[in-house]
Structure 1
Amino acid sequence: MKTESIHPGTTIGHVHLKVANLERSLDFYQGVLGFELTQRFGSDAAFVSAGGYHHQIGLNCWESKSGPAPSFGTTGLYHFAILYPTRAALADAVKRLQDAKIPLDGAADHGVSEAIYLRDPDQNGLELYWDRPKEDWPRDKDGGLAMYTAPLDLRSLMSVLQDG
């Protein structure tokens, strides 16, 4: 079935996560990653953002207070992605994770972007990434997008913090 393409200005607005412990999640999203608390609903829900937006991430324990993480091999969220505006901002996020001793699941260069993969305290998958300028994206011989997955040089990424 052929359908018309979605409007090119469409974006994905926010993610709302079920969490087991709101304080633990706020410690991670605010304390480690640096998001700002924009609104809180008692001990059951909170909204965080970057740059004064109403919220990019909602956290709630309405149905999940003290609940276990989803079992491996079940359906659900694989990961959600947080787009950083620059390579230096991504490197700063990695430094925050290292300082907090939060392990990474992986790191990849996709040609169009550089990405870090990890899990939040409730085992939700996160991708932290920055996009290279569109004119630098890899293309095949016909001009189509030619993304790939290669190891990310973390030393090179972190070197932007010393250079800046």
Structure 2
Amino acid sequence: MTIQAVRLNHAVLFVADVERSIAFYQAAFGAEIVAREPRANAAFLRMPRSGNHHDLGLFGVGAQAPRRPGAIGLYHLAWQVDTIEDLEQARMTLAELGAYSGESSHGATKSVYAKDPDGNEFEVMWMLPKEHWGDYENAAPVERLDLGSEVDRWAGVRTASELIPLEA
């Protein structure tokens, strides 16, 4: 019998400087600290609209040589946003932080990419409504993203479920 998981619940990263990483994730995502574990030099963060206990754990291990790109290990994390406008805002925020590294259309998802202060890559993505996946239901191409056209087409369409409602 297989494990009946429903989704990935959280990620934990080893970072050089916990406070620097906390500041980055607060500036990028508005993350809040929900817990600290001083014995492990760790902090646990929650995204503002998450109903989860924590979405990201940060464990400080001190300065180390970064893992070379393409080495065995985690490639990136992906944070989902609710609207295509949220994705457009994410691109601007990440560029302002000097973290933005690229963008792609993967058919059913539209993505921008960035790196945190330790070089951990992450994706911020928006998913098309499921009824519009079409040929992309079983495909994941890497194509050029025309975010302006996507905003024009999908403005106001919410696709993330089980979110804490926006404050009015």
TM-score tier (shorter): 0.7 to 0.9
Output the aligned Cα RMSD.
2.5
Structure 1: give runs of 5+ residues left out of the alignment.
none
Post-superposition CA distance 1:66-111 (Å, at most 9, x none): 222212342111111111122122222212112223231x211111
Matches within 5 A, 1:1-164: 7=4, 10-42=6-38, 44-50=41-47, 51=49, 52-61=51-60, 64-104=61-101, 106-139=102-135, 145-156=138-149
Query: TM-score w.r.t. structure 1 length?
Result: 0.79
Deviation at 1:114, TM superposition (A): 0.2
After the TM superposition, which segments of 4 or more aligned residues of structure 1 sit over 6 Å from their partners?
none
Matched residue pairs, number? 152
Structure 2: give runs of 5+ residues left out of the alignment.
157-168
Query: TM-score w.r.t. structure 2 length?
Result: 0.78
Decide whether aligned partners of structure 1 residues 48 and 59 sit closer, same or farther in structure 2, where only a CA change above 3 A counts: same
Partner SS for 1:148? coil
Partner SS for 2:138? coil
Whose radius of gyration is greater, 1 or 2? 1
8 A Cα contact 2:94 2:114, kept in partner = no
Partner SS for 1:126? strand
Aligned AA (1:53): N
